[in-house]
Amino acid sequence: MEVTLRRTAAAIARNNNGLRPAAAALTAAPSSRHFSLSSLTRPPPNYPGHVPLTRIEKAALAIGSGLMSLRDPRRGDLIAAFAEATATPYFIYRLRDAMLASPTGRRILRDRPRITSTSLNLPHLRSLPPGSVGRTYVAWLDREGVSPDTRSAVRYIDDAECAYVMQRYRECHDFYHALTGLPVVREGEVALKAFEFANTLLPMTGLSVFAAATLKRSERKRFGDIYLPWALRNGLRAAEVINVYWEEQLERDVGELRRELGVEPPPDLRDIRKREREERRRRKEEQAARDGGV
């Protein structure tokens, strides 16, 4: 048996030595050329859940998700994908640098807290005094019927620290709602996105402002007359809201925090919309009464 194996090995060696030069060159090609199949292999992820993309793939993701999210602004997954695809190479680094320039921002980056219903202890927030940041926040969650546990995980930003910055911005969004009092109706979301764009410069927030074109005529007029000027004025003059360590502000007076940040609450949109509905109902009733009396 051993003799047979040795003869077989010798025969294979003779055959390899007899390869034609061209064939030998082909077998050596992968090591002598710049391109190889290995160059098509994706790099390993930089953090759990990370999906590395090429520049072409990021461009395709940005265009596709941007167009589709304009068509259906309720698709949070598309908005999240567009935000990540357009945040690099500049905007998310600018936001990260703004955090690094702030002592509080640096602590947030070091601690990397997450905002969830568990980490915030929502039942405890409901027991805080009225007018506190925590009570205002949880009251807004309860009124709007939303939860902090629904924010998508960041997947398409390559730098792990910048991915956390995007995650932090995403999870703080409901605090911005509570800070300004804007509801989650489309009109309120567009107004808040305009505020966020002026404050963060993230392209996704700027694109979202174009959703104002989908509002009703009266809502578009109100947005242009009231909420867009408010958003730009307050977003530009306010401190970087990404640097607020919300977990440490829960027991503070919300009015005090607003003054410290330089954020002036806009007119109550829910109250305005309620008055408009009541006015339309009154007119319909008057019209019905007139028609009935004819």
Mean pLDDT of 285-291: 77
In a domain, residue 101? The reply is yes
Residue 267 pLDDT more than 70? yes
pLDDT (tens digit per residue) in 99-155: 999 999 999 999 999 999 999 999 999 999 999 999 999 999 999 899 999 888 999
Collapse the DSSP code of 132 into the 3-class scheme (helix H, G, I; strand E, B; otherwise coil) and give the result. Answer: strand
Among the ranges given (51-55, 106-110, 223-227), the one the predictor scored with the smallest mean pLDDT: 51-55
Mean pLDDT of 207-233: 92
In a domain, residue 131? The reply is yes
In a domain, residue 243? The reply is no
Q: How far apart are the first and last CA of the chain?
A: 115
In a domain, residue 91? The reply is yes
Residues 205/193, Cβ–Cβ less than 8 Å: yes
In a domain, residue 290? The reply is no
Structural domain total, the chain: 1
Q: What is the pLDDT of residue 75?
A: 74
* Cα gap 199→181, rounded to integer Å: 17
Q: Alpha carbon 146 to chain centroid distance?
A: 16
Closest CA to 53 of 81, 23, 90, 25: 81
Beta bridge partners of 132: 253
In a domain, residue 28? The reply is no
Flag whether 189 is marked binding. Answer: yes
Flag whether 34 is marked binding. Answer: no
In a domain, residue 46? The reply is no
Q: What is the pLDDT of residue 129?
A: 95
Q: Which residues contact residue 135 at a Cβ distance below 8 angstroms, ignoring those fewer than 6 apart?
A: 125, 126, 128, 129
pTM equals 0.79
Q: State which residues form the domain around 108.
A: 55-182+248-262
Residue 176 pLDDT more than 60? yes
Residue 230 pLDDT more than 50? yes
Mean pLDDT of 200-210: 90
In a domain, residue 198? The reply is no
